[in-house]
Amino acid sequence: MKFLKTVLILFILINLAFSQFVDMTPDSTRIEPVDSLKLIFREGVRYYNQERYWDALNVFEKFNAIPESENHLLSASGLLLIKTYLRLGDLDLAIQMGREFVLIHKTSRYLDDAEYALAEAYLIKGMYSESIFHYLNVMQSTNQERLRFMSKQTLETIVDLFISTEQLVTIIENNHEDFHKIFLTLKLAEKYHLDGDTRQAEKELRVIKGMIKGPYFNNEFVRTSERLKNRAQEKVYIGIILPLTGPMAPIGNNILNGVRYAIHQFRANSDKDITAIAMDNRGEVVESIKKVEYLCNNPKVRAIFGPVTSENTIAVAAVANQRKVPQISPTATSSEISSLGPYIFQANVDFENLGRFLGKYSNSISKVMTVASISPADEFGKELTDAFCRTVDERGGHVVSQQWYHGAPEELKYQFSGIRVAGLGISHKILEEKIEAGKQKLLGYTLSDSLWLTDSIYVDIYGDQYRIFRTDSVYVADLKQALILTGIMDSTEFLIPKVDSLEYRITSIDGLLVPAYASDLKMLIPQLEYYNLSAKIFGSANWNDPEMLKKHPMVSRQLTFISDYYIDKESRFYKNFERNYSRLLESPPGRFDLYGYDTMRALLSVFDESDNSRETIRKKLAQMPTYRGICRDISFRGNRPRVNSCAFIMKMEGGIAKPVAVIENGDLTTYTPRY
């Protein structure tokens, strides 16, 4: 049982018990008697959303102590109190408060949410029958499609993995609600069919046929009846390891929402019975290892999705590869992950590929030949910068200066001065080459024939002096003056200072790589302007900050950046997706929702009707045709095995970041909008 409890914090939707409450309103529509009451309540909500659960608990406990006659926020605060106890891991109090809420607040608009939280608390404690009862209550009574959808998915997972056929029969016999009996009997029929006893499965359906009313169960009944006509198909699971609690919970939960929607779409259009098992690693390495070991031990789990960070992904990959279970991470970026073995895939473009692809574009399209870089001295900065510079070097360019910084780039005088000095040195070298070429031209003027008076210029050279003859005058000059007087060079070309001065604009460096973090930009951009460099700027997706770039048009015009994602929010393709997604999940998709959706859809694309073994999934992922998603394209057939080799090259146009080219399978190609 102890081992199973480790698994209980798992399942799809456990995060919704911890969803944020941005805008909770009281049940009553009457005027609030005390304005300060609502202000304090909002403070508690803010604490909860910021994961300051002890502070939130203090607020909501005080609210619950206020008599109902004086407290128009009683049910709202009661629900948040239940969810706060759940967040803090006090399951007994969460259950106690949940049961009281269900008994007392029967007309509350938050009744379904409270019952859902109660169901999850029972699930985590391993009290499956009680959990099933409350999930069914939610399905029966809620008018929230999201809650019904999430409850159904979780119920199916519990029944399939944790409830035996005999236990399910007992639960049905002890249940008196028709809705409960019908739903559970449909699941019982599926279990009998899977066990090979299709005759008993058909018998169970006949028992409930007369009880069915309404379109929902009619459709479910027909679907189950059709399944019984075909060979029993074992349910296949994809294990999900994400941070559903802890500091990274918002990212993990958003990714999981996208995963759920992808599976929902897949199941609606496919006969394959594939479900997700979501497990919470809390963003910790040890928890990640525990979860992947459990998933690998279950033969029904055919692939693993996640985790989020590179550190956790590496820990999971070591186990998954050893156990020969394909693993795909939606967000890990370290360049070393795929080297851990043939079962490990990265849907994100890693640092090395980001640098390589950007270097290829800068040289092929932007014609950059001399480059400098100023980068954070960490894994992100070093891997991306090294790959960029190596690519430019391989293609005949030259890296003239690499500068690094630690921490926040508040003052980078030393680094920018180093780049300027390198640029100044190049300018002097170019000047020297021009002067030498000019000397050869001057020498040519001394070789004019005896009829030089018909020529425009004739030159005599005496040591360091040049006598320049024109038809109407003679000049004696040094080399510099001679080059200017003869028009071989312009006077402005000699204005390069011997000692660096910020008044002199460095034009001799073609490209400047700045793979900054988003939080660094507000410090970096003013310095880029101040240190007077005319180089084209190349960066990572962190530069995708249109509002900030609008304030710095010069930098915006110079900028090109690479991104693993692009969301064309004006396309009909995206608008249709957003409308359907928002209807089911009750919130529009963000970037991480789309990461979860696209990565899961790519993974699901290799499942078919025949062989869905772990080994087959691995082989098909490696050879998967390019998946074209809502925000990213995914292919593992590019320059590096099992690492996504698709990306977008972006520029700012009219204050909006738009693709000017794409990378597909490691090759540059034109961008084609999806309408």
- Per the CB < 8 A criterion, the answer to whether 642 and 345 are in contact is yes
pLDDT band at residue 40 under the 50/70/90 scheme: confident
**Residue boundaries of the structural domains of the chain:** 2-163, 236-345+573-625
Among 130-144, 396-410, 444-458, 574-588, which stretch is predicted with the lowest mean pLDDT?
444-458
Rounded Cα distance, 181 and 175, in Å = 7
Q: Looking at per-residue confidence, does 245 or 639 come out higher?
A: 639
* pLDDT value at residue 538: 98
* pLDDT value at residue 168: 93
pLDDT beyond 90 at 233: no
Rounded Cα distance, 564 and 331, in Å = 10
Q: What is the mean predicted confidence (pLDDT) over 612-622?
A: 94
Both tokens of 373, joined, read 């870089």
* pLDDT value at residue 23: 40
User: 423: burial class by Cβ within 10 Å (0-12, 13-18, 19+)?
Assistant: buried
Rounded Cα distance, 202 and 268, in Å = 23
Rounded Cα distance, 45 and 98, in Å = 18
Dihedral in degrees, nearest 10, Cα atoms 282, 288, 290, 292 = 130
* pLDDT value at residue 580: 93
Q: Looking at per-residue confidence, does 289 or 22 come out higher?
A: 289
pLDDT band at residue 332 under the 50/70/90 scheme: very high
Helix (H) or strand (E) holding 593: helix 591-604
Among 14-23, 31-40, 247-256, 363-372, which stretch is predicted with the lowest mean pLDDT?
14-23
Report the CATH architecture of 2-163: Alpha Horseshoe (1.25)
* pLDDT value at residue 450: 45
* pLDDT value at residue 531: 96
In the DSSP assignment, the letter for residue 246 is: S
Both tokens of 315, joined, read 């820990």
Dihedral in degrees, nearest 10, Cα atoms 137, 142, 147, 152 = 50
**Cis upstream peptide for 307 (omega within 30°):** yes
Q: What are 149-162's pLDDT values in tens digits?
A: 889 888 988 888 77
* pLDDT value at residue 75: 87
Q: Beta 465-469 vs 458-462: how paired, if at all?
A: antiparallel
pLDDT beyond 90 at 469: no
Helix (H) or strand (E) holding 401: strand 398-405
* pLDDT value at residue 448: 58
* pLDDT value at residue 644: 95
Rounded Cα distance, 654 and 672, in Å = 19
Report the CATH architecture of 236-345+573-625: 3-Layer(aba) Sandwich (3.40)
- Per the CB < 8 A criterion, the answer to whether 626 and 523 are in contact is no
Q: What are 66-83's pLDDT values in tens digits?
A: 887 777 888 888 999 998
For residue 16, the one-letter residue type is L
Among the listed residues 665, 400, 672, 394, the one whose alpha carbon sits nearest the alpha carbon of residue 513: 400
Among the listed residues 433, 438, 457, 437, the one whose alpha carbon sits nearest the alpha carbon of residue 447: 457
Instruction: With 0.85 as the threshold, say if the pTM is over it.
Output: no
Question: Helix or strand or coil: residue 633?
Answer: strand
* pLDDT value at residue 486: 84
pLDDT beyond 50 at 217: yes
Among 124-133, 396-405, 517-526, which stretch is predicted with the lowest mean pLDDT?
124-133
Both tokens of 409, joined, read 């780039």
Q: What are 188-197's pLDDT values in tens digits?
A: 998 898 888 8
Q: What are 569-609's pLDDT values in tens digits?
A: 989 999 999 999 998 887 899 999 999 999 999 999 999 86
* pLDDT value at residue 560: 97
Q: What are 550-569's pLDDT values in tens digits?
A: 999 999 999 999 999 999 99
Q: Beta 511-513 vs 370-376: how paired, if at all?
A: parallel
Question: Helix or strand or coil: residue 211?
Answer: coil
Q: Give the mean pLDDT of the chain.
A: 87
Q: What is the mean predicted confidence (pLDDT) over 497-518?
A: 93
For residue 469, give every residue at least 6 positions away whose Cβ sits within 8 Å of its Cβ, in sequence order, or none: 452, 457, 458, 459, 460
* pLDDT value at residue 224: 87
pLDDT beyond 90 at 50: no
Dihedral in degrees, nearest 10, Cα atoms 161, 165, 167, 172 = 110
* pLDDT value at residue 316: 96
Both tokens of 456, joined, read 């425009």
For residue 607, give every residue at least 6 positions away whose Cβ sits within 8 Å of its Cβ, in sequence order, or none: 236, 272, 274, 617
- Per the CB < 8 A criterion, the answer to whether 528 and 555 are in contact is yes
